[in-house]
Structure 1
Amino acid sequence: MNDPRDLSGVWYGRYFAISWGVPENGFIAHLEEEGGVVTGTITEPDDTGTADIRRAFADGSRSGSALEFTKQYDPTGPLAHSVAYVGTVSDDGTEVTGEWRFSGYHGSFVMNREIFRAEELDEEAAVDEDLVIELDEPQPDR
């Protein structure tokens, strides 16, 4: 049986600063998990004004519902530092909540994803197929 908390996939999130007046920021994380090892990339809007987006690499681990990873910003960019994240994955694997820390600064984060069951996708494909068949059928003259 597959673990629903496997982090592989696309996550949409927000992080919030508790320790200084920087507003929240959004991000998209593309994560892969294999044997509890978590890697991936994170893209977020650049609120420093030096670029449109910032890129970072994620590297960490998950054991049960416990997640730890380091977000390392692109070392060639203006924010060449790393941020430590610790979080908890929900039982259904659709949400992670936790905290981040960097050089005395800290805050919280949340990230979500939508998971589609195979049965739901099959049902949606069947409905789409029915619509195509209906559209292909000759229509009576009016």
Structure 2
Amino acid sequence: MSDDPQNLGGVWYGRYDALGYVDTNSFVARLDDDGGAISGTITEPNTSGGTGVRRAFISGTRSASGLRFVKQYDGGALAHAVRYLGRINSDATEISGTWIIVRHHGIFTMRREKFAQTDLEREEEVELVGPHDALFRR
């Protein structure tokens, strides 16, 4: 776990909208943040008439309260890249901004839960005790 309060590593839940279109698209992003170098994956529903999900890889940079990354779909009919530019809130739990590809652009927002170290330690303690023992502790 990083000591950097702006570290973006973790699971993010988001949505993006294309300006001029009614539909909102949701996604789940798994990010790694290595001192501001961002990498990861995005999974989203396939809204282009198919079934299942679409996957993309991301790479970019975090700098102060800014984030830039490129989302590269993993092939098929959507083998293109999308550029994102976002602003990170003060406790690094929300990022919002814009995206652009050749003829389309829009906005995005992504959020995550951040847990205090004491909450994580308490959860580990419950897991170590076991599910049956935890039922009787109060």
| Alignment TM-score, normalising by the size of structure 2 | 0.86
Q: Is the 8 Å Cα contact of residues 70 and 82 (structure 2) preserved in structure 1?
A: yes
Aligned residue in 1 for 2:120: 121
Counterpart residue type for residue 118 of structure 1: Q
- TM-aligned CA distance change 1:134 to 1:69, over 3 Å: closer
Q: In the TM superposition, what are the counterparts of 1:1-142 in structure 2 within 5 Å?
A: 2-18=3-19, 20-75=20-75, 77-124=76-123, 132=133, 135=136
| Percent of residue pairs identical | 46
Q: Post-superposition shift, 1:84?
A: 0.4
SS at match of 2:47: coil
Q: Post-superposition shift, 1:133?
A: 6.0
- TM-aligned CA distance change 1:135 to 1:27, over 3 Å: same
Structure 2 residue ranges without an equivalent (≥5): none
Structure 1 residue ranges without an equivalent (≥5): 137-142
Counterpart residue type for residue 7 of structure 1: L
Q: Post-superposition shift, 1:127?
A: 7.0
* Aligned mates of 1:49, 1:7 — CA distance in 2: 32
| Alignment TM-score, normalising by the size of structure 1 | 0.84
Between Structure 1 and Structure 2, whose CA radius of gyration is higher?
1
Q: Deviations over 1:70-107 (max 9, x none)?
A: 000112x2111110000011110111010000113111
SS at match of 2:119: helix
Give the total of aligned pairs: 134
Counterpart residue type for residue 100 of structure 1: W
